[in-house]
Amino acid sequence: MARHVVAPAGDIPPGARKLVQVNGRAVVVFNLGGEFFALNNRCPHRGGSLCDGVTTGLIQSSEPGHYQYSRRGEIIRCPWHSWEFDIRTGQSWCDPGKVKTRRYQVTVEQGAMLVEGPYKAETFPVSIENEYVVVEA
């Protein structure tokens, strides 16, 4: 498993997402309040591009007439059929056992660490002063 420098951390502020290419695969990286998560961009239901979806919260109901809205911004809905996926796990809400999108490990690392290591960023220069998002795939 290789580690890929996919973006300067500042390119993906909290609440934002960015589509990147890792090993020829489209991967979408999310920033949830400073925590980074990466999912395979292809919706496991029918192939929509998750990066083009909207984020929402988790809507639940304990009984008819009572509703709870939590985890604002942590659910991505596919732009085609609106399947909901938990950005933290890649699991779908309706069929978490079977329909899930692959999740990748993400870290944020100092440029100083990266320029000396076995890392390579293909499309932008890595400077030692900045932080970078690294996806393991």
Residues within the interface to other proteins (CB under 8 A): 19-21, 26, 41-42, 46-49, 51-54, 79-82, 123
Smallest distance from the beta carbon of 48 to other proteins, in angstroms?
Answer: 7
Quickly tell me which residue has 């580690």 as its tokens: 3
**Least distance CB 101 / other proteins (angstroms):** 14
Three-class secondary structure of residue 113 per DSSP: helix
- Between the alpha carbon of residue 12 and those of residues 93, 109, 118, the distances in Å are 25, 14, 23
For other proteins, which is the closer residue by CB, 55 or 112? 55
Cβ within 8 Å of residue 73, ≥6 positions away: 15, 32, 55, 56, 57
In the complex, minimum distance from the CB of residue 47 to other proteins, in angstroms, rounded to a whole number? 6
Residue with Cβ nearer other proteins (20 or 135): 20
For other proteins, which is the closer residue by CB, 112 or 137? 137
CA 137 to chain CA mean position, Å: 13
